[in-house]
Amino acid sequence: MSKTKTAFFCQDCGYESPKWMGKCPSCSSWNSFVEEIKQKKGGSAPFSKNSTDAKPVVLQEITKNVKQKRKLQDEELNRVLGGGIVLGSLILVGGDPGIGKSTLMLQLAIKDHHKVLYVSGEESESQIKMRAERIGILNESCHILTETNLEAILNHAKQVQPQILIIDSIQTLHSSQIDSAAGSVSQVRESTASLLRYAKESDVPTFLIGHITKDGGIAGPKVLEHMVDTVLQFEGDRNYVYRLLRTSKNRFGSTNEIGIYEMLGDGLRPVENPSEILVTNSDTGLSGISISSTIEGVRPFLIEIQALVSSAAYGTPQRSSTGFDAKRLNMLLAVLEKRCGFKLGTKDVFLNIAGGIKVDDPGVDLAVTMAVLSSNANLPIPAGIAFAAEVGLSGEIRPVNRVDQRIAEVEKLGYKKIIISQNIKGLNLSNYKIDVVQCTKIGQVVKTVFS
Ligand code: TYD
Ligand code: MG
């Protein structure tokens, strides 16, 4: 078999060279050369007359060929995928090392009742078996393959004919058509392209595990994310047991869904009711703790915000925040100082979202300010109060989306009072048994809470 011809191309300007070069002679950019397979001679040109049979069709005449969604055992995974897995889709799962990507995928392979081919280029068969036994094997048709050669994997896949293919990880694959090492940009791109073709032709949904770079992006070329149908990010703090599975791209569903898991000794357990675990204890009587009703995707849940305000030991006060945007914290502190007259300029402020989760919902603003004020005054917020509102630059309390769901969640968990903003369209307070207090200014909230 003759080797496919490859050449190096500048990713910025397209300059072609037979050898790798550090600097592009054409556009002078550095480190932009990547090996690519050259089009074979005689291959069909994109616009040749008989290259394709496709013809333009009037939109109304197109018959919908909605690929059916296959339900998985794992409800959290169904949720982030938009209700189930679409046949022939290519799904990239990214995340930090050790976060649990392999565990999540192996669990899908051995707990579901689909015929699965799990390809690992990172662990040996016995290592996988050990891990599988820890999780508990239920699936009788789960095939394990330890292989890194792309062509061999595709051959095995054609023989086994799985219903789901899992590749752990895309960075370990190498195609014999390209000389560069496994994990290099050209290898990753070529492997993904071949697997994409396989998935579309055979209708087998394919999961690719991808490593993450130091800045948190998926390692390899950016085009990887363009090629696949869905990108899932598995994240969480390794020191905590909770893991979040987020969708950052989805061609078959919404992207703001999250799945929550708990990492236990025997694998990942889906967390059906996040509020109950993320809020530790509502009646501790400690200052600096507040509860916010937040929404991720379509799911409302409660989170606990902890603040510590103390006199700065050194000249410059420190501000630090975990799980909440530090710039937003600074903004809220400035609002408290300037608009509400609380002297926080000389104080150290530390903020933490319990459970190691990250939130970027503006609806937690009010709870953050109240936690800070509570710690500053050393007055605990009475038990049974939750908050859901944004705080504006002039210290005004602003409405947030889907307030009704947030109130319902707070009520469900037995809270007595929720503080929200005024001017919420379509809100019918008679639907709730809980006390809903609508405020316009921070000062008003302080009075309501502490008097
Ligand atoms: P792993 O899936 O290997 O991570 P990744 O593939 O993302 O690098 O997860 C490894 C961690 O998960 C490891 O530190 C041990 C922990 N773990 C458990 O706590 N319980 C379990 O049942 C399993 C299988 C792993
Ligand atoms: Mg792994």
Q: What is the mean pLDDT of residues 422-436?
A: 88
pLDDT of 248: 85
Closest C-alpha residue for ligand 1 atom 9:
100
pLDDT of 348: 93
Residue 396 pLDDT level (bands cut at 50, 70, 90): very high
Sequence spans of domains, the chain: 6-37, 70-272, 277-450
Alpha-carbon distance of 183 to 191, in angstroms, equals 10
Alpha carbon of residue 235 to chain centroid: 6
| Structural contact between residues 344 and 309, judged by C-beta atoms closer than 8 angstroms | yes
Read off the pLDDT of residues 155-170 as tens digits, 9 standing for 90 and up: 999 999 999 999 998 9
pLDDT of 66: 60
Pairing of strands 206-210, 164-168: parallel
Which CATH class for the 277-450 domain?
Answer: alpha beta
For a ligand 1 pocket test, name from 263, 266, 268 the mutation site with the most ligand atoms within 8 angstroms of its C-beta: 263
Q: The pTM is what?
A: 0.76
Query: Which ligand gives the minimal distance to the CA of 268?
Result: 1
Least confident of 181-185, 317-321, 445-449: 181-185
CA of 394 to the centre of ligand 1 (A): 46
Place of tokens 């055992």: 73
Tell me the β-bridge partners of 167.
119, 208
Task: Say yes or no to pLDDT of 300 above 60.
Answer: yes
Best CATH choice for the domain 70-272 from the list 3.30.450.20, 3.40.50.300, 2.70.70.10, 3.40.91.50:
3.40.50.300
Query: Which ligand gives the minimal distance to the CA of 239?
Result: 1
Shortest-distance atom of ligand 1 to CA 131: 24
pLDDT of 271: 87
Q: Count the Cβ atoms, other than its own, within 10 Å of residue 323.
A: 19
Least confident of 73-77, 252-256, 307-311: 252-256
CA of 168 to the centre of ligand 2 (A): 7
Least confident of 66-80, 147-161, 192-206, 215-229: 215-229
Shortest-distance atom of ligand 1 to CA 169: 6
pLDDT of 64: 66
pLDDT of 424: 86
Task: Say yes or no to pLDDT of 48 above 50.
Answer: no
CA of 98 to the centre of ligand 2 (A): 7
Task: Say yes or no to pLDDT of 297 above 90.
Answer: no
pLDDT of 158: 94
Closest C-alpha residue for ligand 1 atom 8:
98
Read off the pLDDT of residues 366-379 as tens digits, 9 standing for 90 and up: 999 999 999 999 99
Shortest-distance atom of ligand 1 to CA 234: 7
Pocket of ligand 1 (CB under 6 A): 95, 97-103, 131, 134-135, 263, 265-267
Q: What is the mean pLDDT of residues 73-79?
A: 90
pLDDT of 292: 94
Ion ligand 2 — residues with CB under 5 Å? 102
Share above pLDDT 70 across residues of the chain, in percent, rounded to a whole number: 92
Residue 199 pLDDT level (bands cut at 50, 70, 90): very high
Residue 276 pLDDT level (bands cut at 50, 70, 90): confident
Q: What is the mean pLDDT of residues 90-95?
A: 92
Q: What is the mean pLDDT of residues 74-99?
A: 90
Q: What is the mean pLDDT of residues 395-406?
A: 91
Task: Say yes or no to pLDDT of 289 above 80.
Answer: yes
Return the closest-CA partner of residue 9 out of 172, 178, 248, 192.
Answer: 178
Element (H, E) at 294: strand 289-296
Calculate the average pLDDT of the chain.
Answer: 86
Greatest extent of the chain over all pairs of C-alpha atoms, in Å: 83
pLDDT of 61: 81
pLDDT of 305: 94
Alpha-carbon distance of 271 to 85, in angstroms, equals 20
Give 343: exposed, middle or buried? Use CB within 10 Å, 0-12, 13-18, 19+.
exposed
The structure tokens listed for 166 are 């899992």
Task: Say yes or no to pLDDT of 49 above 60.
Answer: no
For a ligand 1 pocket test, name from 103, 107, 168, 235 the mutation site with the most ligand atoms within 8 angstroms of its C-beta: 103
Return the closest-CA partner of residue 438 out of 420, 426, 417, 423.
Answer: 420
